[in-house]
């Protein structure tokens, strides 16, 4: 027992000295030191010494991993945090030679941002130990995190480094590139009423969401949610009619500017309608698809949806104006119906039903891409699902920074998903004003293919004859010659209509 305790003390001293020494070591020295230990292990005949050296080697690997991950992660922390007072590019300050104060005391000097502190706390909980990060409760007196090197036991030492690595991994995943305004990949649910109160009009949550992921969600008022459910019931009734009855209202296949009527599955723009069919209404026009009160209900619901969308557009206008980047003076309500930059009257909406179908060739993942990745060509689009089962209805947004798809977490008639459009980028995404693309798709699991999926989507855009003059000046160079929305719509929608579906490209 005495021998084991003596060996433990020696190991503890060696490890602590190694930690202190590692503060000035580079990754090359770590590698050389590891190779030397491996060679000694094969040379030494004594089993006990081999075990000790193997433990040393494992500890070295922990140090290397912590050194690399922490350095790589915290360099991004320093680049995104104005109050950072510590930088991993200075090896001599990684660990204090005079005493090891644990990962979270070190982290406290790394980043004083509350968002980063929350992430580090999550890493600490994952590792099973507490931490002392500013904004979080301090560690109690006598905590191992505050002991000098010589008083730090091996178990506590290894536990602390595991916590540091876990925290670094968590931080590396959560902290985004410099200039990003979001702290996570989730699609935010924003409070429209709160944002429009005068005392709360200092931040830019809607623009921040467009910068981060290109989309956000808002609550739909209860009366409007009930109207939406009623409209979906009307739509189901129409879609249950024989195909011949629906074809009486068929869209003009040659019309691009004003699409209006019934779109069968696999019709125009097959790339986007392989699994979908439904109706499109442009502007204030409707069609007598069903006996009354169908048209009356549709018109009332559309007007209420317009009013909700005007509130969202007004919030975006307000945040754009407060950014100080605007070159065009947009007064209050400029995006509303009948206003100077009317984004309402020239809009159109779709009611679409998604159909089950065989899995695309070569997929083999148990999932079907029922709507391919795309950007909406409008200024802003607003989508409401008919169901919350499954949540999000398979809608996914491509996160450019993380290089991964992010599932929309909420759906149903009580919540609306708002997407940035290509026209928003053209008019506002210039100079220092940059936004995420907001490209999205629909992916359905095999278990959900038979579940009903109904959507209502509004595409908000100016009148056809509106001249597209950017609201924000370019960073440098001359202004492009402005074109009308008619010309731009012809270009974009012809591309949509001509785009060959992926399955036809593969077969060709």
Give pLDDT tens digits for 236-262.
Answer: 999 999 999 999 999 987 787 888 999
| Long-range own/partner contacts, residues 483-489 (CB < 8 A, 24 or more apart) | 485/346, 485/423, 485/461, 486/257, 488/423, 488/426, 489/256, 489/257, 489/377, 489/461, 489/464
* CB contact at 8 A, 211 and 180: yes
Domains and CATH numbers, the chain: 2-174 (no CATH), 189-473+480-507 (2.60.120.330)
The pLDDT-based confidence of 143 (bands split at 50, 70, 90) is very low
Query: Which residues make Cβ contacts (< 8 Å) with residue 166, sequence separation at least 6?
Result: 123, 124, 126, 127
Pick the range with the lowest mean pLDDT from 128-132, 270-274, 326-330: 128-132
Whether the per-residue pLDDT at 437 is higher than 90: the answer is: yes
State how beta strands 348-354 and 189-190 pair: unpaired
Average pLDDT of 354-370?
67
Helix or strand or coil: residue 269? coil
Q: At 228, list the tokens.
A: 């939406």
Predicted pLDDT at 206: 96
Query: Which residues make Cβ contacts (< 8 Å) with residue 77, sequence separation at least 6?
Result: 84, 110, 111, 116, 171, 175
Whether the per-residue pLDDT at 302 is higher than 50: the answer is: yes
Whether the per-residue pLDDT at 274 is higher than 90: the answer is: no
Predicted pLDDT at 268: 63
491-503 burial by CB neighbour count: b if 16+ within 10 A, else e? ebbeeebebebee
Query: Which residues make Cβ contacts (< 8 Å) with residue 163, sequence separation at least 6?
Result: 103, 104, 123, 124, 127, 128, 129, 131
CA-nearest of 283, 306, 287 to 238 is 287
Q: At 498, list the tokens.
A: 């001509």
Helix (H), strand (E) at residue 415: strand 415-420
**Three-state SS annotation for 472-483:** ECCCCCCCCCCC
The pLDDT-based confidence of 431 (bands split at 50, 70, 90) is confident
Residue 467 bridge partners (DSSP): 484
Pick the range with the lowest mean pLDDT from 194-203, 214-223, 461-470: 194-203
State how beta strands 276-282 and 380-385 pair: unpaired
Q: Give the Cα-Cα-Cα angle 318, 324, 327 (nearest 5 degrees).
A: 90
Give whole-number Cα distances, 40 to 46, 113, 201, in Å: 11, 45, 67
Query: Which residues make Cβ contacts (< 8 Å) with residue 344, sequence separation at least 6?
Result: 306, 309, 310, 313, 335, 336, 337, 460
Q: At 356, list the tokens.
A: 């089950």
Distance CA(265)–CA(355), nearest Å, equals 9
Whether the per-residue pLDDT at 303 is higher than 80: the answer is: yes
Q: At 103, list the tokens.
A: 């990962």
Average pLDDT of 85-102?
34
State how beta strands 276-282 and 404-407 pair: unpaired
* CB contact at 8 A, 407 and 473: no
Predicted pLDDT at 331: 93
Predicted pLDDT at 395: 97
Helix/strand number for the chain, H first, E second: 15, 12
Whether the per-residue pLDDT at 451 is higher than 60: the answer is: yes
130-159 burial by CB neighbour count: b if 16+ within 10 A, else e? bbbbeebeebeeebbbbbebeebebebbeb
Distance CA(124)–CA(43), nearest Å, equals 40
Residue 200's φ and ψ, nearest 5 degrees, are -105, 5
């Amino acid at each position: 027992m005495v021998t084991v305790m003596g060996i433990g003390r020696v190991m503890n001293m060696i490890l602590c000295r190694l930690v202190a020494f590692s503060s000035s070591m580079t990754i090359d020295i770590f590698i050389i030191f590891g190779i030397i230990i491996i060679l000694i292990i094969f040379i030494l005949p004594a089993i006990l010494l081999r075990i000790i050296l193997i433990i040393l080697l494992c500890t070295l690997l922990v140090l290397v991993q912590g050194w690399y991950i922490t350095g790589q992660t915290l360099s991004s922390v320093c680049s995104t945090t104005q109050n950072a007072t510590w930088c991993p590019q200075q090896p001599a300050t990684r660990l204090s030679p005079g005493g090891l104060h644990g990962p979270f005391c070190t982290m406290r000097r790394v980043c004083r941002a509350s968002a980063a502190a929350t992430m580090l706390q999550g890493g600490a909980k994952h590792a099973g130990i507490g931490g002392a990060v500013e904004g979080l409760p301090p560690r109690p007196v006598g905590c191992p995190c505050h002991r000098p090197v010589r008083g730090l036991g091996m178990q506590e030492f290894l536990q602390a480094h595991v916590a540091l690595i876990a925290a670094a991994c968590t931080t590396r995943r959560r902290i985004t590139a410099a200039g990003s305004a979001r702290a996570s990949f989730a699609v935010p649910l924003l409070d429209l009423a709160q944002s429009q109160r005068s005392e709360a009009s200092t931040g830019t949550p809607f623009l921040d969401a467009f910068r981060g992921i290109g989309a956000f969600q808002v609550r739909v008022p209860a009366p409007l949610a009930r109207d939406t459910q009623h409209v979906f019931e009307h739509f189901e009734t129409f879609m249950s009619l024989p195909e011949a009855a629906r074809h009486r209202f068929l869209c003009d296949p040659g019309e691009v500017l004003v699409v209006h009527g019934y779109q069968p599955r696999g019709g125009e723009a097959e790339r986007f309608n392989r699994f979908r069919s439904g109706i499109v209404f442009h502007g204030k026009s409707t069609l007598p698809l069903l006996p009354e009160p169908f048209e009356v209900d549709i018109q009332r619901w559309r007007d209420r949806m317009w009013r909700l969308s005007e509130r969202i557009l007004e919030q975006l206008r307000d945040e754009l104006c407060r950014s100080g980047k605007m070159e065009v003076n947009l007064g209050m309500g400029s995006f509303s119906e009948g206003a100077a930059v009317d984004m309402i009257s020239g809009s159109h909406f779709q009611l679409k039903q998604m159909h089950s179908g065989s899995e695309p060739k070569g997929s083999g993942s148990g999932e079907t891409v029922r709507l391919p990745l795309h950007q909406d060509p409008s200024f802003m689009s607003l989508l409401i699902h008919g169901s919350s089962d499954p949540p999000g209805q398979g809608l996914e947004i491509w996160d450019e920074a993380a290089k991964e798809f992010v599932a929309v977490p909420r759906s149903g008639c009580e919540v609306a998903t708002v997407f940035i459009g290509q026209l928003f980028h053209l008019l506002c995404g210039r100079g220092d004003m940059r936004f995420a693309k907001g490209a999205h798709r629909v992916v359905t699991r095999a278990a959900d293919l038979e579940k009903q999926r109904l959507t209502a989507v509004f595409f908000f855009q100016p009148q056809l004859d509106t001249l597209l003059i950017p609201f924000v000046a370019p960073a440098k160079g001359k202004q492009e010659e402005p074109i009308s929305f008619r010309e731009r719509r012809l270009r974009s929608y012809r591309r949509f209509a001509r785009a060959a579906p992926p399955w036809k490209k593969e077969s060709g």
